[in-house]
Structure 1
Amino acid sequence: MAPIDRHCLILLDKQSAFYFLQRVKTKCKSNSESMKRFVSFLLFMALGTLTLLGQARQVTGSVVSADNGEPLPGVTVSVKGTSVGAITGSDGTYSINVPQDGEFLVFSFVGLLTPELEIANNTLIAVVMEQDLMALEAVVVTALGISREKKALGYSVTQINAEDIEQKPESDIGRVLSGKAAGVRVTATSGVSGSGTNITIRGYSSIKGNNQPLFIVDGVRF
C-alpha cells in the first residue's frame, strides 16, 4: 500500500457502522487509490454483515405448565405466517431463528391453549401454557398413556361421565357400564345378587381365549 501523505479526520460517535465508514471515505482527503480500494472493501464488508444480521435473529426461552410449573416437552414453537418452527426439548426449552419479518411466536400443544406472543426486540421469551377445556373433549388417553386426538384414532371412543355413574351407583364396574356404552354387552355370571359379570365388546373375538376387556386406571391395570 502506498504511504498516505495526509491525515484523516475520523469522528467517533454512536452512529451505525455503515454510516461511520461513509464518513471515513468522505473525510479522507488522500488521493491514494489503495486507500480508496481499502475503504470500499470495508464498506462492502460492513454492508454484508449488517444484511446478514438483519435476516434472522435467535430467540430462546422455556415453556412450562400453568398447573404445576413443570417443563413442557414437545411443544411446537413457530413464527406466525412462516414455515420456521422448533420443538421444546425434554427440559421445556427451545431455540428458534426468527426471520426479519417475523412478528409473533405461536406455541401449540394438544389440549392446551395456543398463545401468540409478540417478539418485538425480545431475545428471551418464557411461556406458561394453560389447559384448553374445550379442546380436552377431543383428546383421548389410550391404554399406553398416550394423548391422541379422537380424529387421529382408527377406532371409535365412547365416553361415560361421572354424572352417569352417580345416577346408578354399583359396586361392580361391569354393571356401571351396562346400557351406557354402545357395543358393550354385560351379563351376570349367575342369578345371585352381587355376583360378578362378563363383559364383551362387539362380540367374541376368540373361541378359547379370554374375551374380557382390559381395564386401565391411571396407567395401572385394574
Structure 2
Amino acid sequence: DYNEKFGIKSAEADTIYQKAQTFLENKKNSEIDIPEVRYIKGLIRKGEARATSHFVGLTDDQIHFMELPFYETGTIEKKPIGKEDIQLTIDLIEKIKPHQIYAAGDLADPHGTHKVCLDAIFEAVKALKPKPFMDDCWLWLYRGAWQEWGIDEVEMAVPMSPDQVLAKRHGIFKHQSQKDGVVFQGTDAREFWQRAEDRNRETAQVYQQMGLASYAAMEAFVRWIF
C-alpha cells in the first residue's frame, strides 16, 4: 500500500509481499512463520516499543533492541538461555553503566520469556559485580499485569497521580498488536491495561489501609541483591 500510494516500484518488495501473503493464506496450525514474516512481525513490535519510548521522553540513542538468540525460535516456546544471551546482556550493561536496572520479575509470564530474560540479567550482573561502576547499580524487579508483589516483599513503592496512570495507559496503547485481549488470559476477560491499572490501584489501596497517604495508584518494586 505504501509503495502504491507513492508510486514506488520495487520488484523485490512485491516478491516479499506475495511470498508472505501466500504463506499466511496457507499457514497450518503450529507452523513456524517463514523468516520474512517473522522479520515483519519484529519490525512491528520494534516500532511499537520505539513509539512508547518516545512517548516517555527517550531518544533513539537511548533505545536498544537486543535481539537475544534464545528468542529466535519462531514459536511460543523459546530456547534455554545461552552464553551468547548472557554476553550480549553483559555488553549492554557495561556500555551504559546504569545506576538502576528495571526488569520484569513477573515469573508467571505464560510464555516463560520474562523468566529467561531475567535469568540473563541475573547472570550478567553477577559477572559484572567486580566492576567498580556496579557498586552504584541497583536491580529493581517489577511485576506485570498478572500479579503483584506481596506487601511484605515490596522494597520501593512509587506513588502515581491520576495523570501518570493515564500516561501509563497511553503508553500501553501504543503496543497496538498486543493491546486488545490477552492471548493466555484464562478466565480473566480484562485487557492488559485494565489488569495493570487495577493492580496499581489495589496496591495504593493497601498502603492507604495501612494508614499511609492516599494515591491514585502505586507501582511496587523489589530489589534483587547480586
Q: Which TM-score applies when normalising by structure 2?
A: 0.20
Say which one has the larger Rg.
1
> Which protein has greater RCO, CA pairs closer than 8 Å, 6+ apart?
2
Richer in helix (by share):
2
